Chain A
Amino acid sequence: MPVKIYIPCDTTALAMGADEVANIVEFQSREAGLSVDIIRNGSRGLFYLEPLVEVETARGRIAFGPVEAEDVPGLIQSLVAHGDFSEGKAFAGKHPLYLGLTEEIPYLAKQQRLTFARAGIIDPLSLEDYQAHGGFEGLNQALALTGSNGPQGIVDEVKTSGLRGRGGAAFPTGIKWQTVLDTPAEQKYIVCNADEGDSGTFADRLLMEADPFTLIEGMVIAGLAVGANQGYIYLRSEYPQADKILNQAIKTAYAQGYLGENIQDSGQHFDLEVRLGAGAYICGEETSLLESLEGKRGLVRAKPPLPAIEGLFGLPTIVNNVISLASIPVILAKGGEYYRDYGMGRSRGTLPVQLAGNIKQGGLVELAFGATLHNLVFEFGGGTFSGKPAKAIQVGGPLGAYLPEEQWHTPLDYEAFAANNAVLGHGGVVVFDTSVDMAKQARFAMEFCKIESCGKCTPCRIGAVRGVEVIDKIIGDDHREQNLELLTDLCDTMELGSLCAMGGMTPYPVRSVMEHFPDDLIKAVPGKAQQEQEL
């Protein structure tokens, strides 16, 4: 029997050399006379260990990582010498990169994986693997509910779960679905927002690359729930690997009767297509995304009308984030109450947190709401990558606040973060060490808005340009007091006068720097005093 070896094919694993590792494993094992079956799984999300090579034994999968190309010959030799795969005897101490049973790695063992339950375990393109690990149980439930109760049964289950939009806005998913269900129309759409542009986030990408059928299943269920037979996944063009995997998975789903007409002989019909964005951050905003899908410039629309009533091509449309839709199968399979029993307050279920930036053990951590940022960054993340003390943590992408140390014990909960003038957003956590200059980060927030604003609202389009100028003056100690006041005023204008979160929330990181890191903003300018004397 060949030994099963798992080597991930997700973007981060590939970025760290997984393809080279796979090639050498194949070559070296042939040389060593070890018969192997290499499976390209998705990543478990333990990115600090990528490429993470797993070997199947009778006890379970054992892990080695991070494995670089030059580690492979030693690893294969070690497997030949010590590996007793049928007995699955302990391998401990036999190889420096040995991590024990994958499932027992504390980073993974301590997680509560609902949405990412299959990530890294299965071959993302194997429908058999997907089914063997609980795939399509949610769809079967949904089909049964549709038969007995009509689509309302599905929507009720989603409402019970308490799921709120994981893209960042945290709007109750069940209520959005109800609106689309209640709006009569000949044609309705399910649009998956996979334009994951926030820096520090990769949950959508990981899900799509590690378990694409979950997303497909979630979208089919959404279609059944509201009577929509066409879905689009709007995927950012920066994710070519996800594009490749999704398209192959969709093709397989069509071939196996999980997409198209008469899904699993139910008489239900759902078509699905991937559409690529083109490098515009703003297209992650739902109305801009719809414009883009219609083939236009991604200009934000005014709301109302809500997309649920007048969305894509003017028709009722569900626009949901990847993680929201990918959480639907588990909610349907295990029941809304099962999902709702995780979490705290009004934040129900789990949040896949993404640990990024200057962090020792970066990766995806899925936990029920309620864990603290400190717990995530220091217990899971192991502190900074550089080893210097952490100074600021930005949560929720480029429009999220920078949190100072005194706020790191805030529980991950939408309302608790809002109380700190911060956001959880899509769950991205970016750690900065003490070498960061927070004035530069405030400036970058404005600069990013200047580059990515769609241009519709003046406070955002012009305000961001002025924001960069004003912050430059503050940094350069040019009428500092007056310019600080001007910046506050500008932030108010942007926040109150913009249609969407781009202009409306760019002030969040800026204000957080003004409030929590004022010393960086108003530090002495080298040589300035001398210059003034000379004048």
Chain B
Amino acid sequence: MTKLSEQQYQVVAKSVSDKKALPGALLPILHDIQDQLGYIPKAAIDIIAAGLNQTAAEIYGVISFYHHFRLDKPGNHLVEICRAEACQAMGSEALEQEIKSKLGIDYHQTTKDNNVSLEPVYCLGNCACGPSIKVGERVYGRMSGEKFSRLMDKLSTYVVELGQGENHAR
């Protein structure tokens, strides 16, 4: 297991101490850590467990139950494609295939250049204007393979211009 960096340790320790007194504190703590680090490093589990007086297994069990929480670091951009029925009715299945082949990855994978991680999602609440995808915090409606390529070009350029991986992932 990779050790936490000093900065990561600070984030985790602060989240736990800030929120452990909340009733039902675990989800708020996990969200807070993932919002800041982009994921929940495995080495954080023991610290959370100690803070909440629970076992590491309990913490891991909660993380693994929820699709949103991830234990591995995502790419610079987290792309989520809606797989639910309203988007299916607008051709999301073909869109999924197109996006996967453009990126050269499947769900739960990250591109080799570490630019994009791909996840399925079941409904973004944009069902009147599907098919929908979400990139970082932003939802895009009436998505197509072509529009996705343009969007990706824009996002890659943006990262290059900033000269660093701007972290869109939550």
Interface residues of A (CB under 8 A from B): 11-12, 14-16, 47-48, 50, 196-202, 205, 237-241, 275-281, 292-298, 313, 354-359, 362-363, 385, 394, 398, 428, 430-433, 436, 441, 444, 448, 451-452, 454
- Size of B's binding interface in residues, CB under 8 A: 41
Q: How far is the CA of A201 from the CA of B69 in the complex (A)?
A: 24
Residue of B nearest to A298 (CB): B65
Q: How far is the CA of A198 from the CA of B85 in the complex (A)?
A: 9
Q: Which of B6-14, B71-79, B126-134, B155-163 contacts A (4 or more CB under 8 A)?
A: B126-134
What is the interface of chain A mostly: helix, strand, loop, or mixed? mixed
Report which of A238, A362, A363 forms a contact with B121, defined as CB distance below 8 A: A238
Give the residues in chain A near B125, CB-CB below 8 Å.
Answer: 11-12, 196, 201-202, 205, 238-239
Report which of A355, A356, A441 forms a contact with B130, defined as CB distance below 8 A: A356
18 contacting pairs across A/B (C-beta < 8 A)? A47-B129, A50-B129, A198-B123, A199-B84, A199-B86, A199-B123, A239-B125, A292-B27, A293-B24, A294-B24, A295-B25, A298-B65, A356-B128, A357-B85, A394-B85, A433-B89, A444-B85, A451-B122
Q: How far is the CA of A234 from the CA of B123 in the complex (A)?
A: 17
Report which of B30, B31, B67, B127 forms a contact with A202, defined as CB distance below 8 A: B127
Q: How far is the CA of A279 from the CA of B84 in the complex (A)?
A: 13
| Cβ of B95 under 8 Å from chain A | no
| Cβ of B62 under 8 Å from chain A | yes
Q: Are B69 and A278 in contact (CB under 8 A)?
A: yes
Q: Are A199 and B137 in contact (CB under 8 A)?
A: no
What is the interface of chain B mostly: helix, strand, loop, or mixed? loop
Q: How far is the CA of A527 from the CA of B31 in the complex (A)?
A: 51
Q: Are A281 and B27 in contact (CB under 8 A)?
A: no
Residue of A nearest to B25 (CB): A295
Q: Are B67 and A199 in contact (CB under 8 A)?
A: no
Q: How far is the CB of B59 from chain A (nearest CB, A)?
A: 10
Q: Are B130 and A357 in contact (CB under 8 A)?
A: yes
Q: Are A281 and B122 in contact (CB under 8 A)?
A: yes
Q: How far is the CA of A436 from the CA of B140 in the complex (A)?
A: 23
The A-B contact count (CB < 8 A) is: 154
Q: Which of B27, B88, B139 has the most CB of A within 10 A?
A: B27
Residue of B nearest to A45 (CB): B128
Q: How far is the CB of B75 from chain A (nearest CB, A)?
A: 18
Give the residues in chain A near B27, CB-CB below 8 Å.
Answer: 275-278, 292-293, 295
Q: Are B31 and A295 in contact (CB under 8 A)?
A: no
Residue of B nearest to A357 (CB): B89
Interface residues of B (CB under 8 A from A): 23-28, 30-31, 52, 61-62, 65-69, 84-90, 121-130, 132, 134, 137-142
Q: How far is the CB of B85 from chain A (nearest CB, A)?
A: 4
Q: Are A295 and B127 in contact (CB under 8 A)?
A: no
Q: Are A15 and B141 in contact (CB under 8 A)?
A: yes
Give the residues in chain A near B24, CB-CB below 8 Å.
Answer: 275, 293-295, 313
Give the residues in chain B near A198, CB-CB below 8 Å.
Answer: 123
Q: Are B62 and A398 in contact (CB under 8 A)?
A: no
Report which of A11, A297, A431 forms a contact with B65, defined as CB distance below 8 A: A297
Q: How far is the CB of A122 from chain B (nearest CB, A)?
A: 21
Report which of B88, B121, B127 forms a contact with A428, defined as CB distance below 8 A: B127
Q: How far is the CA of A239 from the CA of B170 in the complex (A)?
A: 13
Q: How far is the CA of A364 from the CA of B104 in the complex (A)?
A: 37
Residue of A nearest to B64 (CB): A297
Q: How far is the CA of A11 from the CA of B141 in the complex (A)?
A: 10
Give the residues in chain A near B61, CB-CB below 8 Å.
Answer: 297
Give the residues in chain B near A48, CB-CB below 8 Å.
Answer: 128-129
Give the residues in chain B near A278, CB-CB below 8 Å.
Answer: 27, 30-31, 66-69
Q: Are B129 and A358 in contact (CB under 8 A)?
A: no
Report which of B62, B68, B137 forms a contact with A297, defined as CB distance below 8 A: B62
Q: How far is the CA of A362 from the CA of B127 in the complex (A)?
A: 8
Q: Which of B84, B140, B141 has the most CB of A within 10 A?
A: B84
Q: How far is the CA of A444 from the CA of B70 in the complex (A)?
A: 25
Give the residues in chain A near B67, CB-CB below 8 Å.
Answer: 278-280
Report which of A12, A241, A296 forms a contact with B128, defined as CB distance below 8 A: A12
Residue of B nearest to A196 (CB): B125
Q: Are A385 and B122 in contact (CB under 8 A)?
A: no
